[in-house]
Chains A and B, each alone.
Chain A
């Protein structure tokens, strides 16, 4: 029985491609009203997990439910409840942005006004009459998001949603996703960008070789894995490192700064690649 606060439950998910296990015993609960980030290198099993969630890949073992419905047996009921933004844009190139949305709006039986709202939300209303083949990569990505939000789904899956977007457009997308969550929606996104995860995600799961290796809030992950060290360049040019967990080294650093012997002082930031290496023993490609 899935608790009501859980929107997505993945239990013992295993997906095999031949003998290769793309997902190997994944257990994960994603709560309602949560923006969840799924991180991992290429081939970690993120996309396969998303494919299972959208009903495009059958689990080899395990069970997956969305909003209390089984993704295999009750896929038709699940379909109207989610929106999906793929990593590769898939529009009708010859249609305008508006016509693309109107077509999907008719399939979802949403009022035409909703198409205009969605276009306006992603700031494409001024170019909505132009054929998609003339759109930039960022515009295409935003149109995908507008399409996925047309029917105001309960769950939104996004595969690398801000890839190819400029800073301003990425901020627009982040704003939309946070707004969805504020209104009770659930968002699951895959990304390589820890800064993006830290900025907008409530929780993050790190997967590697089909297994979940870490699961927590970005802040907690950062606190757990950021190296508490300070890099100093002395006035004489020497490079020094002080460990903040060591009382003697803290005192030495204080003395150096007090005597004016430090030309540059810098605390170490969270290094996702180093953290990933620590967690998995693998380099993050």
Chain B
């Protein structure tokens, strides 16, 4: 391997991208998207556990027709994790209870006081995405708790003997009140109902963090883009135009031609991925697990890209090969996930890659993620071996 030849080949790859700019433009767009994600959805405002994926509801509107002590109470008691997701709106009375077209991914709770003087009624309308009544569960848990607390506080102002609120620190208060009521009814009838004890604990896995999911997607895409799209298509373009032959006839050996390509594209992809990850979460650059994950995924995608580049004869074939591969793997993973088919997904880099990168980006690396990393490394090795074998058989010429 001669340094001056590798340097000339790397300079050529760089100059080609500078001259064509399409690849660079997409990289700049990805960086811009990561910056926008970072600026407009800062991490502290996007940690609402469960609000990002349950039913797909990312915003809940609280509509009311006039200010009231209960509204003031609700506004004052929105927990920090829901602050970015709950929006209070004062609307004309005729809008309360009327079907309001809402953007996809939103829901609303409308409330108004009706009834006769001395017999007020709190009228509540819960508008959830059609077919998903549970989609607003996270919002409703907050809403009903604070409505109860707000109404009790108001009642207590007029009658101090109104009992104190139950322990609302846990999520079991409604259940415990209902059970206490049942016990009282049973005791009145002379029966005994056992006491209820509910234990809640966190699983190993955490709630899917949508922001980390988007960041993971961008990081994965950047490596895929460099290794499975740019590498095969540009190589096949060179082959199709005959410039690969011109280079092969120069003093550059086939090994040097390959090494330059394999130095350039994975470095470009991993560099872009690390930039995107750092914009999302700068600390991740100091994480060994992140770098190991990125290298494993980069190695896997490089092997896939090399295999496509060795098989495809033309630029169009290389592009279609990359697209078909992506579509096929996505379909297999989706079918396996929706039908509970075990083990088969373990054979895809695309199964392990997102898991390990998401774990690294969300800072939730659990012991089982190391097994995913091992899987990704083994698959990367397999793909690189397969690519080398196909290359030896078919070559780049």
Contacts and interface: CB of A to CB of B under 8 A. Distances in A.
Contacts of A109: 4, 251
Contact of A106 (B8, B16, B242, B245): B8
B8 A107 contact: yes
A107 B252 contact: yes
Interface of A is mostly: loop
Interface in B110-137: none
Interface in B233-261: 241-243, 245-247, 249-253
Interface residues of A, number: 25
A56 B245 contact: yes
A194 B288 CA distance: 70
Nearest to A106: B8
A93 B8 CA distance: 18
Interface stretch (A3-11, A80-88, A220-228, A257-265): A80-88
Contacts of A56: 245, 249, 397
Nearest to A89: B242
A242 interface: no
B250 A108 contact: yes
Given A56-B397, A107-B252, A92 B245 contact: no
A231 interface: no
Contacts, number: 58
A171 interface: no
Interface string B1-38: 00011011101100110011000000000000000000
Contacts of B4: 106, 109
Q: Main SS of chain B's interface residues?
A: helix
Given A56-B245, A90-B243, A99 B250 contact: no
A107 B243 contact: no
Given A94-B19, A95-B15, A108 B251 contact: yes
Given A90-B243, A93-B241, A79 B251 contact: yes
Contact of B20 (A76, A80, A94): A94
A103 B245 contact: no
A91 interface: yes
Given A90-B241, A106-B4, A107-B5, A54 B249 contact: yes
Contacts of A108: 250-251
Interface string B32-74: 0000000000000000000000000000000000000000000
A99 B243 CA distance: 14
Given A90-B241, A92-B16, A95-B19, A76 B253 contact: yes
B250 A91 contact: no
Contacts of B8: 103, 106-107
Contacts of B7: 106
Contacts of A147: 246
A135 interface: no
B214 to A, nearest CB: 34
A272 interface: no
Contacts of B9: 107
Contacts of A99: 15
A270 interface: no
Interface string A28-69: 000000000000000000000000001110000000000000
A147 B15 CA distance: 19
Contacts of B252: 107
Interface in A261-284: none
Contacts of A94: 16, 19-20
Contacts of B20: 94
A91 B243 CA distance: 6
A164 B11 CA distance: 32
Nearest to B243: A90
Contacts of A95: 15-16, 19
Contacts of A103: 8, 11-12, 15
A262 B37 CA distance: 95
B242 A107 contact: no
Contact of A104 (B15, B246, B397): B246
30 contacts: A54-B249, A56-B245, A56-B249, A76-B253, A79-B249, A79-B250, A80-B251, A82-B249, A86-B245, A90-B242, A90-B243, A90-B245, A90-B246, A91-B243, A92-B16, A94-B16, A95-B16, A95-B19, A99-B15, A103-B12, A103-B15, A106-B8, A107-B5, A107-B8, A107-B9, A107-B247, A107-B251, A108-B251, A109-B251, A147-B246
Interface of B: 4-5, 7-9, 11-12, 15-16, 19-20, 241-243, 245-247, 249-253, 397
User: Which 10 residue pairs spanning A and B have beta carbons closest together?
Assistant: A90-B242, A106-B8, A94-B19, A107-B250, A90-B243, A90-B246, A80-B251, A103-B12, A107-B252, A107-B8
Given A90-B245, A91-B241, A107-B9, 11 more contacts: A55-B249, A76-B253, A86-B246, A88-B242, A89-B242, A94-B16, A99-B15, A104-B246, A106-B4, A106-B11, A108-B250
